[in-house]
């Protein structure tokens, strides 16, 4: 996990679901999940990985679905409106 300084520079936990065609059976799709800390919105690490995939692997890419979550998020605190005592 990156240190807090990198979290402030835009790094986010990025998850990509990659669907690709099986090399031996192109009509079938296989799913691959990639997860890494990356800088949004350009996502250079993901783009580097996808370029590596296209250049070196046989499975042709079908689609990529991306989700990101910030590393520093405010804590949600909820206060109780009522206090009950049970015996």
**Tokens 């042709």 belong to residue:** 60
The total number of structural domains in the chain stands at: 1
Q: Does some domain include residue 36?
A: yes
Structural domain span for residue 10: 4-70
What pLDDT, on the 0 to 100 scale, is given for residue 74?
Answer: 58
State percent of the chain over pLDDT 70: 71
How many degrees, rounded to 5, is the angle at CA 21 between CA 18 and CA 23? 130
**Cβ–Cβ under 8 Å, residues 20 and 29:** yes
Classify residue 84: in a domain, yes or no.
no
* 19: in domain: yes
Total Cβ atoms within 10 A of residue 59: 18
In the predicted model, what is the mean pLDDT of residues 4-20?
Answer: 79
Q: What is the pTM of this model?
A: 0.71
């Amino acid at each position: 996990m990156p240190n807090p300084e990198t979290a402030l520079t835009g790094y986010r936990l990025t998850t990509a679901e990659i669907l690709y065609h099986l090399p031996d059976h192109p009509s079938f799709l296989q799913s691959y999940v990639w997860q890494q800390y990356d800088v949004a919105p350009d996502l250079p690490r993901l783009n580097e990985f996808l370029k590596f995939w296209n250049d070196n692997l046989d499975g042709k890419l079908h689609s990529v679905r991306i989700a990101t979550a910030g590393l520093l998020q405010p804590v949600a605190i909820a206060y109780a409106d009522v206090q009950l005592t049970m015996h």
